[in-house]
Amino acid sequence: MDPSIYKIVELVGTSPNGWEEAVESVVTRASKTLRNIRIVEVLKLDAKVDDGKVILYRAKVNLSFKFE
């Protein structure tokens, strides 16, 4: 790692299928506007429930990337 500056942003991703896919959805979407993402850290996992079933997994994450 060179003496660079990194920025950390907090995002929430969702998926009907699971938490890993919710995290990946954040990374995929954020990569369209943020270059050089290097770490995604899980802050909180929860899910929406309807009629006794988990219907939407949510992952709150911190994304860190080079601040250019």
Provide the residue count of the chain. 68
Distance of closest approach, residue 15 Cβ to its own copies, in angstroms: 6
Say how far apart CA 34 and CA 20 lie, in whole Å: 20
Helix (H) or strand (E) holding 22: helix 19-30
Size of the site for its own copies (CB under 8 A): 52
* Site track for its own copies across 9-48, x = CB under 8 A: xxxxxxxx-xxx--xxxxxxxxx-----xxxxxx-xxxxx
Eight-class DSSP state of 3: S
Phi, psi (deg, nearest 5) at residue 59: -130, 120
Distance of closest approach, residue 60 Cβ to its own copies, in angstroms: 7
Residues that bind its own copies (CB under 8 A): 1-16, 18-20, 23-31, 37-42, 44-54, 56-57, 60, 62-64, 67
